[in-house]
Structure 1
Amino acid sequence: MTTGVSFIVTKVIEDDWLFIAGSPDGNKPYTPFIRWFQYLAGDAEPWTHHESNWWARSATTYFPLGVDKNGDWALVGMSQEGDVEFTYQDSVAEEKIAGAGVFVSDAMGWGYVSSIRQIGNFLFVCGGGGQVYKRSGDNLWEHMDAGLLQASPVVDRLLLSDINGSGEQDIYVCGSSPGPAGLEGRLFHYDGATWRQIEIPGTGYLTRILVESSECVWICGHNGALLNGNQRVGFKDVSTVEDSQLFYSMAHYWRKLYLGSNLGLYEYNIGEPNSKIRKVTTGLTPEVEDTVTVDSVGEVLWSIGEKDIVRFDGNDWARIDHPANLPIQPMA
C-alpha cells in the first residue's frame, strides 16, 4: 500500500479484532472504492484487507439463527447505495437492496441508506426518505416502513440515520427532517406492528442509538444532544447548554457512556447526580482529537478517528499504528 488511508466506518468484533473501511487518501470523498481492513492483535500478520468498489456507509456482524462465533457467521459492510457484502470464513456473498440509493439504476428516489444492524435474528437497514428494510432471507430485503416511507419528491425529507432495538418488537429509528430551526431531531418506535413518532426535547439532527435494554435507550446527535429514556416513559436530554459537539457514536463501558465526536472522545458518568459530558483525558500525546467510532465488545474500549486508533483496557490507553499511515507523533 503506497498511500495513506482515512477510516470511514469501523465495527469492533472482539477485544482485539477490528473491521475497518478505509478510503485511500488519494481518492476524493465518496469515490466508489473501499479497502476493508481486519486487525487481529497477536497474529503474525495482524493487518489484512480486501476491497469493494463502492463507498462504505455502515458495518455490522451477522449471526444467522442458531449460529454463534464458532459457526459460519459474517462480517457485513454496506454502501450508501444499498450494496451489502457478507464476508464469511471461506466465502464472500454480495446483495443489493432494491430501490435504495441515488446513483444506481434501480434507485426509487428515496435516497441513500445509512445504517445496518442485526436485531434479534435479522438484519435491518434504515435510510433517507423513511426507508426501513428487514432481510428475511438471502437477498430478500422487505420494506417494513409503512407510515414512514415518503414518495419522491418530497420537500420535508425524513432522513433516518440509525436503527437499533432490544428485539424485533422493540425497534427505534432516529434521524431528522426540516423544521423551523433547520434540521430537527426525529425519533420513531416500532412495536412489531406499527411505527409511532416519539416526542423528544428539541434537538438538532440525531445520529446514533445505543440500546442497553428495553428500559434504557441512549440517543446522541448534533449540538451535544444526548437523550435517555424509552418509548414508554419518554426521553429527556441529559446534556447541557455548554455542549456543542457533534456526537457520531456511543459505547457503554464500565458504568460510563463514551461518546465519539468531531472534537474528540467524551464521557458521561451514568447514574451520577448532576453528571456532565466531559472530555476524556487519555494521557496519550497528542490526545485523541477526533472519534468517528467509539465501540466496546468485552473488556476493551476502542476509539477510531479518521487516522487514529486508540485502545483502552480499563487501565491503560494505547495507540495502534496502521501500516498505510505514518505513526501519530507529538507536534514539533
Structure 2
Amino acid sequence: MNPFLDEKRWTEVFSDFEIVDLAIQEKGILQMCARKKTPLHEASLLFDSQIPTRIISLFTGRPTGDNCGYQELEGMAYPVVGVARAPFPRPSGLVASKNRDGDVWPRGNGNGPLEHIAPGKSPFPEKLKCIGSVTYSVGAGRAVYKRVEVGKWVPFQDGFPTVEVTTGQGFRDLDAFSPSDMYAVGGHGDVWHYDGARWKQMGFPSNVQLATVTCAGDGNVYISGEGGSLWMGEKSTWKSIYHGTSSILWNDVLWFQNRLWLSSDYQFRQWDGKELIPVEHEGKTVSIWGHMDVFDGLLAIASPQHVKSFDGQAWTNLVSPFAA
C-alpha cells in the first residue's frame, strides 16, 4: 500500500519539523502546528518566538502529491492550533501565540491578516477550542475570548470577578453541551460553569492542577488533572474515578465512539468505565501519543513525527518518517 504522504512532500514539509498540536477542521482537512527541530543548546539561546513555526494543512481526500500544504510563520511563541468552521466566514486553520496581544494567524480560504485576541492584555491562549462554528481561546487568569467574526475576538467573561491574577486561577480547557451549558477548568481546582448568561464558580473536591474538561456523550462531565487523575460529575458534584501517578498532565481528553479517549506526551489510553486501558485495534496496541482531536466521526492524533486517524472502523497512517 502506498503511503498517504509521499516521500518528496514529507521531506519538504515534515522532515526538519516536529508537530506540536493538531485540530480537525472538517473530516477531510486536518490542521497542524509544527516547529523546526532545534537542539536544546541552540534553543536555550533563543526566545521561543524565534523558533520557526509552520501551519500545515493535510487534505485526506486529495491524491498523494497534492494532499499537503504549509505556510511559514514568524514570531509565534509557544503556539497552539485551532480551527474556524462553516458556517463561520472563511473556515480555516488558526495558530495562536502566547504573547502580549495573543496573535492569531488564519490559513485557509485566503491567508491572514494577523489577528489579535486581546491587544496588550496578555491572553496567553492555552487552547483554541471550536464548539460548533464558534472558536474560543482559553488562557491563564481566567482569560476566555470568543471569535465573533474574522479578525474580531471579544471577552467572554461575564461573571468572573476582577481580582489580581494568580497561578491558582484557570484556564487550560473549555467544553460545552450547548451554548447555555459550558464548563471551563484550570489553575488549582478552578472550575466554572456558564449558564447562558454568566459564569459561576463551582465547588471542586481538590485544589490540584487541572488540565482538561469533557462534556461527554453519556451526559457526564469529566475533568482531568494532576497525575493524570480523573473526576466525573457536574456543576459542584464530583467524584474521583481514577487516581493517577503520571508526572505530566493529559493534553486532550475527548469523547468518541461512546468512550473517553485520553492522550498525553507519552500515553494514549481509553477509560472503559473502570480503568484506563491501552488503545487497541484488532488485538494490537495503537502505538502513538501526543495531541488529539475529534470531529465529524473522526479521531486524529499527532505525535512529533506521526499522525494517525481513526474513523471508527480502521486506522489510517497519515504521516510517518521515511527511512533515510
Query: Are 2:195 and 1:191 equivalent residues in the alignment?
Result: yes
Query: 1: CA distance between counterparts of 2:96 and 2:283?
Result: 33
Report the CA distance shift for 1:302/1:30 in structure 2 as closer, same or farther (over 3 A).
Answer: same
Query: Are 2:257 and 1:254 equivalent residues in the alignment?
Result: yes
Superposition deviation, residue 95 in structure 1:
1.0
Aligned to 1:303: 301
1:60 to 55, 68, 82: 82
2:174 to 156, 163, 170: 163
Aligned to 1:31: 49
Q: Contact 1:8 / 1:23 at 8 angstroms: preserved in 2?
A: yes
Query: 1: CA distance between counterparts of 2:258 and 2:284?
Result: 26
Superposition deviation, residue 145 in structure 1:
2.4
SS at match of 1:31: helix
Aligned to 1:180: none
Aligned to 1:84: 104
1:268 to 267, 271, 287: 271
Q: Contact 2:278 / 2:285 at 8 angstroms: preserved in 1?
A: no
Superposition deviation, residue 319 in structure 1:
3.1
Instruction: Write the deviation string for residues 43-70 of structure 1: whole angstroms up to 9, x where unpaired.
Output: 2422211122113533332236xx27xx
1:321 to 300, 319, 322: 319
Query: Are 2:127 and 1:115 equivalent residues in the alignment?
Result: yes
SS at match of 2:48: coil
Instruction: Write the deviation string for residues 64-113 of structure 1: whole angstroms up to 9, x where unpaired.
Output: 6xx27xx74222222112112222323433211234xxxxxx3x4x5622
Query: 2: CA distance between counterparts of 1:78 and 1:209?
Result: 20
| Counterparts of residues 195-274 of structure 1 (less than 5 Å) | 195-202=199-206, 204-212=208-216, 215-231=219-235, 234-240=237-243, 246-269=249-272, 272=273
Query: 2: CA distance between counterparts of 1:301 and 1:283?
Result: 17
Superposition deviation, residue 125 in structure 1:
1.8
Superposition deviation, residue 19 in structure 1:
0.7
Query: 2: CA distance between counterparts of 1:327 and 1:55?
Result: 31
SS at match of 1:320: strand
Identity of paired residues, percent?
18
Query: 1: CA distance between counterparts of 2:72 and 2:297?
Result: 30
Instruction: Write the deviation string for residues 129-176 of structure 1: whole angstroms up to 9, x where unpaired.
Output: 221223344433332325536555x55552411122233322211111
Using the TM superposition, name which of 248-257 and 136-145 deviates more: 136-145
Greater length-normalized contact order (CA 8 Å, ≥ 6 residues apart): 2
Q: Contact 1:200 / 1:235 at 8 angstroms: preserved in 2?
A: yes
Instruction: Write the deviation string for residues 247-292 of structure 1: whole angstroms up to 9, x where unpaired.
Output: 11023222221100233210112xx4xx111222458999625x22
Moved over 6 A (4+): 283-286
Report the CA distance shift for 1:138/1:46 in structure 2 as closer, same or farther (over 3 A).
Answer: closer
Aligned length: 300
Q: TM-score normalized by structure 1?
A: 0.76
Using the TM superposition, name which of 124-133 and 277-286 deviates more: 277-286
> Mind listing any 5+ residue stretches in structure 2 that lack a counterpart?
1-11
Query: 2: CA distance between counterparts of 1:114 and 1:88?
Result: 22
Aligned to 1:95: 115
Aligned to 1:48: 69
Q: In angstroms, what is the RMSD of aligned CA positions? A: 3.3
Query: 1: CA distance between counterparts of 2:228 and 2:73?
Result: 34
Query: 1: CA distance between counterparts of 2:259 and 2:116?
Result: 38
Q: Contact 1:120 / 1:167 at 8 angstroms: preserved in 2?
A: no
